[in-house]
Amino acid sequence: MEQERKLSKIEHIKRDSRFLRGSIQEALEDGSSHFSEENIQVLKFHGTYQQDDRDLRKQLTKEGKERHYTMMIRARIPGGVLNADQYLQFDRLSDEYGNGTMRITTRQTFQLHGVLKGNLKATIRAINDVLITTLGGCGDQVRNTVGCAFPHEGPFYDAVRRDILALVDSVSAKTNAYHEIWLDGERVDPEVDRERETLYGETYLPRKFKIAFAYEGDNCADIYSNDIGLIAHRNGDQVAGYTLVIGGGMGRTASDKQTAPHLAKPFCFVTPDKLIDVCRTVISIQRDFGNRENRKFARMKYLVLERGIPWFRGEAEKRLGYPLDEPRELVWHSADDHLGEMVQGDKVHLGLFIENGRIADKPGMALKSVLREIMMAYRPGVRLTTQQNLILTDLTREQATEVTAKLEEAGVKLASSYTPVKVRSMACPALPTCGLAIAESERVLPGVIADFEKALQELGLQDEPITVRMTGCANGCARPYIAEIGFVGRVIGKYDILLGANLVGTRTNRVFREMVPLAELVPTLYPLLQAYRDERKPAETFGDYCERVGIEQLQDRFVPVS
């Protein structure tokens, strides 16, 4: 009874959901515009969040009307790999049921926004029609597994891809609820699912769980921000094995100094045949020991921080029944996204910069329309990246030339036409759709970047590859804590500025200044950028300069005394 009393409210909802059924089926047929709080929590596991248009809240309240409720749907696309038909299905659904846009997320998948409750089932079913699921898109389970988006070819890369898909299958929820609710599948007694959900049990995980794959040397997937990071080591055409790092996570609560972003720590090395067992074991330890009382501390990073790697390793070895090998030393050369023209044999791939991941038509740039035209005419492969961009793959030289011409005609610039700081920028969606946002992000970052570009031009730093990321709250969905410059929303119109991460994603930044008004973000950084220009060492990056000088010293020099 003591343990029962301590469980958080959401733990009770999960336990009582009958393996993710809740009363979703009944709610889909009740004619209302929105779901109950209990069903909202269960729906996350099915890949959908209930939202409302926060731009309209005040006016609707004044008029005595209910909020304008809509649903956001997030797919599960392992490694961000799509074919043209699958892409076109999302394009169609975004127009037919959504708000006319598609959002590439930092987890290599698509989100559709603006779907009404009455169209939710039809949308999810249509996504499944092209062999993509939304189960695992959200919720307290393993979410979309990500990896390097470059379309590598060869036996080694094919083997890694097989390992990714096998692991995804092994750690996916096994409940029949998804097929019953969305695909009109045969109903089974929920007790049958008790035997199926051997990894998750009836309460699933304490919080979301993220897994990422990388090739040694290329950290484009920000491997250290995940609960489990898997770095593939090569032995000729074979996969020698994987180094596991564990315990990463970006979220924090600005008002609680005990919460903080953490990078994953080296854990072990495993051969491919043991990969699934070891990953499931790590997940099971988080399932059994993770904090289910306070969701602020429920991510696995806090368990690793509290118990330590030696304890975690010992517990894993006890469950596995064999000792784990020491992790291999890792060397990183780049964390840049794969943009521009990439030639591989007789194939050409085009990596396109998609500002903040939003695929939409706007005046002067018909991005969504031209991509639809390209998909229908050339049938390229598609790779979504963890930096919210898109790669068109497997084009011939002639096709690549034609596609480039079509993009330019539609007003879509190639990545080489943008400044380094712009192509490295990211923002979360934030307002008006995200219920957690307390400040703007996607809608204001383009203006901030434009001001930033002007400042860099004035200082002669326009070619510096400075990484800038912004979020509308402290949860860190755009991974601002591993950006050289992070802007994190604290209240409407004000942001914390964080500095000092590095370009390869192996160091977090630190708070430089708090509660800076939006209009003052770039002016606040201008004198610091000037000092960087004048004081940097040869080839020293901005983040490394901030780390070398020290945040405290930078504060003493550049933060006015109040």
DSSP E strand stretches across 379-480: 381-384, 390-395, 426-427, 468-471
CA distances from 298 to 231, 316, 490 (A): 25, 19, 22
8 A C-beta contact, residue 180 and residue 207: no
Q: Dihedral sign for Cα 263, 266, 267, 270, please.
A: positive
- Determine the Cα–Cα distance for residues 112 and 24; give it in Å rounded to an integer: 20
Residue 394: how many other CB atoms lie within 10 Å: 16
For residues 88 and 94, give the distance between their C-alpha atoms in angstroms, rounded to a whole number.
Answer: 10
Nearest partner of 115 among 184, 47, 181, judged by Cα: 47
Query: Residues with catalytic annotation?
Result: 74, 143, 208, 210, 428, 434, 473, 477
3-class DSSP assignment, residue 30: coil
| DSSP H or E stretch at residue 82 | strand 81-82
Q: Structure tokens of 474?
A: 């402290």
Q: Say if strands 426-427 and 390-395 run parallel, antiparallel, or are unpaired.
A: unpaired
As given in the structure block, the two tokens for residue 435 are 């219920």
Task: Spell 116-139 as b/e; 16+ CB within 10 A means b.
Answer: ebebbbebbebbbebebbbbbbbb
Identity of residue 413: K
- Residue among 276, 274, 146, 331 nearest 222 (CA): 146
> Residue 267 corresponds to which tokens in the numbers above?
């854990």
- CB burial class (10 A; 0-12, 13-18, 19+) of residue 336? middle
Q: What does residue 439 show for φ and ψ, rounded to 5 degrees?
A: -150, 165
Query: The sheet that has 494-499: what strands, in order across it?
Result: 426-427, 468-471, 485-491, 494-499, 510-517
Q: Give me the amino acid identity at 500.
A: G
For 399, the 3-state DSSP assignment is: helix
In order, the DSSP letters of 99-163 are SS-EEE-TTS-EEEEEE-GGGHHHHHHHHHHTT-B-TTSSSSSB---B---S---SHHHHHHHHH
Alpha-carbon distances of 245 from 49, 57, 161, 272, rounded to whole Å:
30, 43, 19, 15
